[in-house]
């Protein structure tokens, strides 16, 4: 069987209380400290997290709930995992596969697991899980939302300034004298999309440019979607001179489509992309794009939830809105 505090106590010639106090960072008499340390090493004592959790009401486990594991959510997830591991927390993952019911089921499932906190990528589907989320909050289980808010749920969140990001992307095109600018948006029902679209509208309006319905394409955030959107944009009667895509996979899809159409970036089509992952670097010419601060998002999420768990915060819900970078490449041509 596994080594327990009792074994350590016996070996070190002290009581279990002393061992436990040592483990929890209290000061022992020098002599005892050394004996306990030696006994722990000698016996290979590991501790039993379940016994500990039972007593302290802490499972040292945080759940991350997401509609999918695409490159964006996955990057954030792994970055969070690295940080949490340093603090001795484990990360349980739950993919609700963009399914409202599954989300609800997963959140209920987690209730039985005495999770110390929940990190949730809500997408637009979380509305119907408001009740259970509020239950978590009222039971003092911290919930941190990522990338997306849930109207009416007062809890911490880390989001991106999407409107501003889009505004700058489009402004960059406008500054290069583009007027016929198309946007490839994601899903109509997504808040993030609406915001990115809003930034586009804002920029167009600010510069008194007409917005043509035909220049708003929907790519459902997928590579295929981005690909198809470009094909249909370019097949239109009055094709745009510039395309702005609003997430990573659509960016790749769009580039593939432009390649196939033998439209060169930026000579035949100017282009601003979204998200900067390793894979985008390969594209020639280097793309001008909006870069989301993945590392910062992860850091803020991790810190926020750890602080909440450790009750180092006021009761007020905090929303952290992070700014994006614009990376200038060679994909925008001056007209």
Interface residues toward its own copies, by CB under 8 A: 46-51, 53-54, 59-61, 63, 68-69, 71, 74, 77-78, 81-82, 85, 88, 90-95, 97, 106, 109, 111-114, 222-224, 227, 249, 252-253, 255-257, 259-260, 278-279, 281-284
* CB atoms closer than 10 angstroms to residue 8: 27
Q: Tell me which H or E stretch contains 145.
A: strand 143-146
Asked if 14 contacts 52 with a C-beta cutoff of 8 angstroms, the reply is no
Asked if 81 contacts 87 with a C-beta cutoff of 8 angstroms, the reply is no
Report how far residue 174's alpha carbon sits from residue 247's, in angstroms, rounded to the nearest whole number. 20
Asked if 167 contacts 205 with a C-beta cutoff of 8 angstroms, the reply is no
In angstroms, the Cα distances linking 272 to 48, 161, 269 are 52, 17, 10
Site for DNA in 152-211 (CB under 7 A): none
Binding to DNA by CB under 7 A, coded x per residue (else -) over 55-94, reads xx--------------------------------------
Tell whether residue 6 is a contact of DNA (CB under 7 A): yes
Out of DNA, its own copies, none, what residue 23 binds, judged by CB under 5 to 8 A for its kind, is DNA
Report how far residue 181's alpha carbon sits from residue 200's, in angstroms, rounded to the nearest whole number. 9
Tell whether residue 143 is a contact of DNA (CB under 7 A): no
Binding to DNA by CB under 7 A, coded x per residue (else -) over 10-49, reads ---xxxxxxxxx-xx-xxxx-xxx-----------xxxx-
State the nearest-atom distance from the C-beta of 238 to its own copies, in Å.
24
Residues of this chain that interact with DNA (CB under 7 A) are: 1-6, 13-21, 23-24, 26-29, 31-33, 45-48, 51-52, 54-56
């Amino acid at each position: 069987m596994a080594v327990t505090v009792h074994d350590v106590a016996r070996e070190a010639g002290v009581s279990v209380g002393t061992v436990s106090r040592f483990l929890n960072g209290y000061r022992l008499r020098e002599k005892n400290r050394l004996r306990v340390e030696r006994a722990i090493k000698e016996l290979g004592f590991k501790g039993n997290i379940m016994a500990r959790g039972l007593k302290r009401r802490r499972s040292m486990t945080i759940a991350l709930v997401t509609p999918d594991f695409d490159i964006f959510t996955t990057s954030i997830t792994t970055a969070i995992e690295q940080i949490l591991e340093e603090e001795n927390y484990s990360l349980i993952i739950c993919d609700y596969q963009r399914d409202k019911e599954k989300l609800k089921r997963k959140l209920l499932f987690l209730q039985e697991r005495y999770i110390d906190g929940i990190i949730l990528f809500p997408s637009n589907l979380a509305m119907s899980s408001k009740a259970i989320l509020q239950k978590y909050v009222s039971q003092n289980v911290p919930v941190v939302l990522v990338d997306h808010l849930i109207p009416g749920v007062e809890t911490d969140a880390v989001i991106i300034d999407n409107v501003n990001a889009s505004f700058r992307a489009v402004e960059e095109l406008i500054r290069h004298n583009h007027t016929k600018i198309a946007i490839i948006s994601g899903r109509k029902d997504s808040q993030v999309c609406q915001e990115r679209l809003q930034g586009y509208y804002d920029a167009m309006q600010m510069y008194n440019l007409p917005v043509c319905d035909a220049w708003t394409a929907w790519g459902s955030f997928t590579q295929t979607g981005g690909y198809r959107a470009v094909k249909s944009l370019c097949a239109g009667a009055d094709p745009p001179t510039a395309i702005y895509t609003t997430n990573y996979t659509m960016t790749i899809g769009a580039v593939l489509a432009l390649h196939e159409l033998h439209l060169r970036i930026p000579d035949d089509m100017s282009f601003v992309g979204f998200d900067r992952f390793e894979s985008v670097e390969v594209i020639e010419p280097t793309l001008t794009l909006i870069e989301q601060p993945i590392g910062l998002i992860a850091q803020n999420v991790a810190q926020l939830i750890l602080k909440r768990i450790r009750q180092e915060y006021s009761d007020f819900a905090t929303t952290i809105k992070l700014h994006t970078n614009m990376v200038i490449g060679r994909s925008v041509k001056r007209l």
